[in-house]
């Protein structure tokens, strides 16, 4: 199974959607290089939804008063006007903050191609862009891949998805969200995933280690502001788990220095 979230540029066979190649690289770069873009999208997602995401990734138990047999519905019905409105509002904010990049920003956000590509790749792998759990999983796993310079297997991805969905269904914030609120959050997550993975792919093809390090830090800091330290997490057969502490014995001692305490020569 191809890795979910990678190669977002490839359209579905016979698709009439705009492809990655039709959007100038300079336009897309204005998004995945911009901290304003990430901050504005996080605001659109909302602090309540991000709090539910933090608990889902970090396995934080719910307060006792929220323990209930009621389960949140993660699937939502789509309203056609949500996506264009979201992109228009985002473009206005970014142009105001970065007037010198007005053309690039408006070009990158003038159509729904990013959402269409995201939708295609989720559905191809058996996931649903109209399910908040599937979309949120794509965001956290894609961010983890960038931060760790690694790719997860389909089994690891499924485990992370099952973990996140289990917690989201028990999250009081999600229980009270309307379909419109779920769609707005999902489309904002989708824009983040698309730009993160497109940037990662492009920089890897160019072997631009400096650019990859910048993108890694941008993504890491963005998720860290939500209370999730991706550097301290691994993904295994149970989903997100605490990373093992570093082994000092795995690193050689500096020349002329004794081995680390407790390590053999």
Q: What is the pLDDT of residues 107-158, one digit of tens each?
A: 989 878 888 889 888 998 899 999 999 999 999 999 999 999 999 999 999 9
Which letter, b or e, does each residue of 102-126 get, where b requires 16 or more Cβ atoms within 10 Å of its Cβ?
Answer: eebbbbbbebbbbbbbbbbbbeebe
Question: Sign of dihedral through CA atoms 168, 173, 175, 179?
Answer: negative
Q: How confident is the model at residue 13 (pLDDT cuts 50, 70, 90)?
A: very low
pLDDT of 11 reads: 31
pLDDT of 248 reads: 61
Share of the chain above pLDDT 90, in %: 64
Does this model's pTM top 0.75? My answer is yes
**Maximum Cα interatomic distance, the chain, rounded to a whole number of Å:** 67
Q: What is the pLDDT of residues 228-257, one digit of tens each?
A: 999 999 999 999 999 987 666 666 666 766
176, 51 contact by CB (below 8 A): no
pLDDT of 246 reads: 67
pLDDT of 23 reads: 73
pLDDT of 3 reads: 37
Report the alpha-carbon distance of residue 198 to residue 18 in Å, rounded: 15
Q: What is the mean pLDDT of residues 6-32?
A: 55
pLDDT of 254 reads: 65
Range in 23-32, 69-78, 210-219, 243-252 the model is least confident about: 243-252
pLDDT of 67 reads: 57
Range in 58-62, 220-224, 259-263 the model is least confident about: 259-263
In this predicted structure, the answer to whether residue 2 has a pLDDT above a threshold of 60 is no
Report the alpha-carbon distance of residue 189 to residue 181 in Å, rounded: 12
Q: Which two tokens stand for residue 243?
A: 């990373």
């Amino acid at each position: 199974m191809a890795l979910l979230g990678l190669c977002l540029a490839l359209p579905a066979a016979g698709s009439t959607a705009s492809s990655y190649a039709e959007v100038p690289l300079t336009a897309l770069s204005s998004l995945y290089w911009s901290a304003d873009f990430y901050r504005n999208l996080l605001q659109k997602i909302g602090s309540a939804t991000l709090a539910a995401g933090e608990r889902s990734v970090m396995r934080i138990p719910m307060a006792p008063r929220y323990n209930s047999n009621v389960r949140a519905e993660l699937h939502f019905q789509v309203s056609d006007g949500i996506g264009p409105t979201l992109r228009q509002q985002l473009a206005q904010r970014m142009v105001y903050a970065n007037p010198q990049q007005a053309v690039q920003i408006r070009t990158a956000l003038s159509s729904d191609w990013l959402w269409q590509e995201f939708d295609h790749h989720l559905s191809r792998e058996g996931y649903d862009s109209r399910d908040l759990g599937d979309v949120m999983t794509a965001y956290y796993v894609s961010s983890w891949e960038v931060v760790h310079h690694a790719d997860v297997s389909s089994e690891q991805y499924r485990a992370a998805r099952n973990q996140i969905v289990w917690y989201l269904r028990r999250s009081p914030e999600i229980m009270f969200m309307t379909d419109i609120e779920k769609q707005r959050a999902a489309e904002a997550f989708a824009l983040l995933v698309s730009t993160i993975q497109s940037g990662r792919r492009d920089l890897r093809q160019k072997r631009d280690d400096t650019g990859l390090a910048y993108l890694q830090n941008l993504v890491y800091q963005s998720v860290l502001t939500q209370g999730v330290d991706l550097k301290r997490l691994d993904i295994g057969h149970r989903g997100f788990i605490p990373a093992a502490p570093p082994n000092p014995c795995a690193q050689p001692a500096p020349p002329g220095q004794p081995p680390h305490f407790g390590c053999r020569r």
